[in-house]
A and B are shown apart, each in its own frame.
Chain A
Amino acid sequence: MNFMYLYLPVALTSINIIIPVGLGLAVGLLSGLFGVGGGFLMTPLLIMFGIPSTVAAATDSNQIVAASTSGTYAHWKVGNVDFKMGVYLLIGGFIGGLFGVQAIKVLNATGNADFVIKMTYVLMLGIVGTYMLIESLNSMKKKKTEAVKTEKESGLTKFLKSLPFQTHFEKSGVTHSTLIPLLFGGFVGILAAIMGVGGGFLMVPVMVYILKMPMHVVVGTSLFQILFNCIEVTFLQAYTNHNVDFILAVLLLLGSTVGAQIGAVFGRKMKGEQLKIILAVIVLVVTVKIIFELTLTPSLLLSQAGGH
């Protein structure tokens, strides 16, 4: 008997407890800092350590419930959660998710689902990462591009302002039509469902660049809506697929809940632009990693069936 190892009853494998606790701490830190769930990092890492892919994804959403509760709580304490905006995004995301699931069914029927899913993932990560990096570098340098930018964006802003149901979001200090968070929440929901990820890395840029919310409120609000998304996903995964491993989730959340608190504290000390740059770099690194995985010959050509 070795007390460093615990057996996972649903994953049907044994793991050194340092691995999930450490991974939880690292990914929870990112979660508290940037308002992402971190599924795009955690799920592949768990698979790398021998957890079946379907169990990895389902258990990760269970652990994100804990990390995002911890993170939302930390950000709420300092007034950085826009609950009103969060609820609209959630409603949109929920409806989008329903469409996304249907889209996967159609893709599976056509036979090239994996290709479309992988390409969507790489393109989305690449575009979001590049855009955030360039934009935040530019605004940090305070180049004279501001004039051009405001001109460019005034078209979109005008259009957004012309929509009905305009309402003020106090915490974020912005006024939008309620249709906007519903629509973009839905858009992220569709893509997230297709890619099988939480979509935090898409929701954060939507809030920053389209909804014009301040970065610190974006992080808290994003965690708030991730929390509810992951509650729904965890229940569905446990109920329909029996893929949630309780022991693995507990080990992960031991690290991630603490990580999220540390991340929130660090985040407050950093500028919004700095946060955006680091998030952009992480997203781009993940993009490059996926491109490598797609092009280098894998060591094993067979893997467990189920999931993406």
Chain B
Amino acid sequence: MKNFKFLMLLLPCIFIFAGTASAELTIKANHDNIKIDFFYHGSTVSVAGNADSGTDLIIKIASPEGHEILKQKGKVAGLLWMNTGTLNLGHVPGLYSIYSTKKIEDLLSRKEMDKYVIGYPALGRQIEMTPVSNEDEKSKWFNEFVKYKESSNLYTISSGKIMTTAKDGKQAYYILTGWPYQAPPGDYLVTVYAVKDKKVLEKAESKVSVEQVGIIKMLAGMAKNKAALYGIISIMAALAAGFGVGLIFRKGGGAH
């Protein structure tokens, strides 16, 4: 309870000192350096700042655009589902989360959504996809792609979770989001957009970086850079464990 009170007192301070004071819109991502250690099971990231009152807010968290290759399942002989090909996607973020004060369709025009790549339809129009023969097919596979990403918590769109409080003719905003453990190490860009009359008035950016540390970093690096040694150690450990357990069982009277 004490902690909670302390946090409540601290919260406005975070808002005040967050971001750059000169801009109308400010942003600060707390816990912005996520460390993947031995017991890592995802994390949380809070995003907070100040905005003009009377504006709506959209927060986008995304990894830099890249290239993904996925296996496609399709029906063979009209009966059996199996892998039928590969889908190549370009200009696609590995992680893409949108949080907004209201539904984004009610906040922005299509033109603005496309310009700032906000929302699945805008993302779908930006992505390059091969092989697809027409728009229908592209849209079908884009929907499948979103489903695939959502299943591992890497893509999400939700509205109404940003908390706002009026303060000195402005509004302070705050959101606490879960950070999925499936998100790989790398730098992620956090952008807040202040929106009014279907247009983006202003935007501000912050960063979240995710890195492996300790034994996880050591093992991941070794698997890639010292593959032969890594393979031999894996085999030796398995052989030792097998023999070890065999000996324990003999001593424990397992044999008869």
**For residue B219, which residues in chain A have a CB less than 8 angstroms away from its CB?**
9-10, 246-247
Given A62-B234, A70-B242, check contact A303 B73 (CB 8 Å). yes
Residues in chain B near residue A6, CB distance under 8 A: 38-39
CA distance A231 to B87 in the complex (A): 34
**Cβ contacts B52-92/A at 8 Å (1 or 0 each):** 00000000000000000111111010011111101100000
Q: Which of A161-169, A214-222, A235-243 contacts B (4 or more CB under 8 A)?
A: A235-243
Tally A residues with Cβ within 8 Å of B.
Answer: 64
Question: What distance in Å separates the Cβ of B227 from its nearest Cβ neighbour in chain A?
Answer: 5
B224 at the interface (CB under 8 A from A): yes
Q: In the bound complex, how far is the Cα of B238 from the Cα of A111, in angstroms?
A: 37
- CB neighbours (8 Å) of A254 from chain B are 241
Interface 9-mer from A94-102, A271-279, A292-300? A292-300
Does B80 contact A238, Cβ atoms closer than 8 Å?
no
Interface residues on B, range: 35 or more
A interface majority secondary structure: helix
Taking a contact as CB atoms under 8 Å apart, the answer to whether A7 and B39 are in contact is: yes
In the complex, per-residue mask of A149-173: 1 if CB is within 8 Å of any chain B CB, else 0: 0000000000000000000000000
Closest residue of chain B to A76 (Cβ to Cβ) is B246
Q: Which of B38, B41, B235 is the one whose CB lies under 8 Å from A231?
A: B235
Q: Per a CB cutoff under 8 Å, which of A12, A62, A115, A258 touches B82? A: A115
Contact A300 B151 (CB under 8 A): yes
Could you tell me which residues of chain A, from 35 to 87, have a CB within 8 Å of some CB in chain B?
A: 50, 62-63, 65-74, 77-78
Q: Is the CB of B41 within 8 A of A303?
A: no
User: Given contacts A9-B220, A12-B182, A244-B234, is CB(A68)–CB(B73) below 8 Å?
Assistant: no
Quick check: A302 and B235 within 8 Å, CB to CB? no
- Asked if B148 is at the interface (CB within 8 A of a chain A CB), the reply is yes
* Given A9-B220, A238-B227, A261-B249: A300 touches B238 (CB 8 Å cut-off): no
Does A148 make an interface contact (CB < 8 A)?
A: no
A174 to chain B, nearest CB (A): 26
9 pairs, A vs B, C-beta closer than 8 Å: A6-B39, A9-B212, A69-B238, A69-B243, A242-B224, A254-B241, A295-B80, A300-B73, A300-B144
What 3 A-B pairs are tightest by C-beta distance, nearest first?
Answer: A69-B242, A238-B231, A73-B246
Other 16 A-B pairs with CB < 8 A, given A231-B239, A242-B223, A295-B79: A7-B41, A10-B223, A14-B42, A66-B241, A69-B242, A115-B80, A234-B238, A238-B231, A244-B223, A260-B242, A265-B254, A265-B255, A301-B148, A302-B141, A303-B148, A304-B70
